[in-house]
Structure 1
Amino acid sequence: MIRISLRRHPRFFRPGFIGPILLVIIWSLAHTAHWVTPRLLPGPLETFNAFLQSIADGSLWGDFIQTVLRTVYSFMIAAIIGIPLGITIGSSKLIYRSVEFIIDFFRSTPATALFPLFLLIFGIGEESKIAIAAFSACLVIVFNVAYGVMNARQTRILAAKVMGASQWRILRDVLLYESLPQTFIGLRLGVSYALVVIIVAEMFIGSSTGMGHRIIDAEQVYNLAEMYSSIIVTGCIGYLINFIFLIVERHFIKWSGK
């Protein structure tokens, strides 16, 4: 009877639920056992009540939407610039070797260190937040797209050349499709980078809206339940965006690895 019940209701026994449940249990134990002082670590129920209150009074939605919009704008700019640039760089080893140091240098430089530069160029406003996030995401996308193009299967490229395909046809019909799996990896990493930079920018670059501003504002007035609930919402944004990209990737790149 137990085996029949498990087969009929497999959705209740998914391993993916184990991690969140364990996290809530450990969180509850840490709060009730005073492993961390309750003044610094509110319990899950208190945090959840703060989350419900922010939804009920409507204060969460505006910040949530602003953060998502800024992330989407910066990611779109990064993708529009990064994908064709990565294909161009990856299609020629000479070009790649020429710009490899520049890409790796800025990709390894923390985005927060570039805040003053972007503030000087774009000023204190939406433009600077979106620009620095797009820049960080673009570097990741360029690197992964170029890597995907450079590691395209040579047998398919040779087959296209044997059949008389031009360089443009090889680039469009072979290299572009061969690089798609690595391109999607770059896109997922890029949107994650964009979200992280947007949150940090909302904290420290004169923002009056957004989840980053909401987190730092709650911390300054010592509303820790609100702070933790906002952090969790921010994590959920990142998780959902990554989950959407995984679904799209699995749908459009079923041939990956074949």
Structure 2
Amino acid sequence: MAISRSPLRALATFACILIIWFGLTAGKFVDPIILPTPLSVAGALVELLTPSGLLIDLVATLLRLLMALVIATAFGIPFGLWLGYHERIYAAIEGPLHAMRSVPPTALFPLFLILVGVGQGSLVAMAAYPALLVILINTISGARLANRRRLQQAKILGLGAWATGTQVLFWEALPHILAGIRIAAGYGLALSIAGEMFIGISENGLGRKIYDFQSAYRIPETYAAILVTGSVGITLNQLVTVAERRLLRWLPMASHEQ
């Protein structure tokens, strides 16, 4: 029942926002240069969602985000499981690891330009950096909270390090891993948009279009591009939610949500 009610609640929330938006613009409480009417934004959205319009930028942003998440998960999950299992090694690097997490990725962009070069790779690196740290730290936390009795049983059964990590430790840490992927996807999307907007390396991307529209005072188009970006974030969150329901059925909370 919780699942069936959730879409209704979301629709009710969006309906309330739309009603307030209509009221503010119809009553001219806000200047159109700041908040255009919903109809003008909808018209701009229809005109822009074409193969030669925002769809190209949407694909470009999604590809950068996908590459960043693939890099983050490919390195963050195995290293996180290993560090979570070897607590002494993690204790030795915990300080520097959290110090790295405190450094804004935008501050490291000149370093990414040197290491990766000027081009798409630097934008991907800037989005992958915080995503990697988030997934790594969440995976470490999940591995450290693993049921030690199950790990001991795996050792008694003669499972090697690889088998223990993939068959026991990974599943013990999976709730934290998925939570990390959810957060990393949000960070990656935000930094991809910011990089496209202000760094100016790429001509395509939702962030670049938002900046171009805003600079040209094409306000309805600006809001339309922002709505597309928000829809991407909502879709990513829903994909992780579906993955959680399918992969975490063995958890009491996941069973209750179904």
TM-score for both structures, normalised by structure 1: 0.89
Return the offset for 1:162: 4.2
Partner in structure 2 of residue 24 of structure 1: 18
- Cα distance between partner residues in 2 of 1:146 and 1:173: 16
Matches within 5 A, 1:159-238: 159-206=153-200, 207-238=202-233
Cα shift readout 1:191-224 (whole Å, capped 9, x = no counterpart) = 2211111111111222211000000000000001
- Cα distance between partner residues in 2 of 1:56 and 1:86: 41
- Cα distance between partner residues in 1 of 2:162 and 2:248: 22
TM-align CA RMSD: 2.1
- Cα distance between partner residues in 1 of 2:94 and 2:24: 47
Cα shift readout 1:16-43 (whole Å, capped 9, x = no counterpart) = 2111111111112222233321221101
Cα shift readout 1:210-244 (whole Å, capped 9, x = no counterpart) = 00000000000000100011001001011111211
> Larger deviation: 241-250 or 166-175?
166-175
Q: Give 5+ residue unaligned stretches, structure 1.
A: 1-9
- Cα distance between partner residues in 2 of 1:185 and 1:86: 14
Return the offset for 1:49: 0.5
Partner in structure 1 of residue 76 of structure 2: 82
Aligned AA (1:143) = I
- Cα distance between partner residues in 2 of 1:242 and 1:223: 29
Cα shift readout 1:150-189 (whole Å, capped 9, x = no counterpart) = 0001232233344444444433321111011111111121
1:93 counterpart = 2:83: no
1:184–1:249 CA contact under 8 A, matched in 2: yes
Cα shift readout 1:84-126 (whole Å, capped 9, x = no counterpart) = 1111111111111122122222222222222222223333310
1:245 counterpart = 2:237: no
Paired residue for 1:102, among 72, 96, 100?
96
Return the offset for 1:67: 0.5
- Cα distance between partner residues in 2 of 1:217 and 1:168: 50
- Cα distance between partner residues in 2 of 1:241 and 1:29: 30
- Cα distance between partner residues in 2 of 1:243 and 1:181: 16
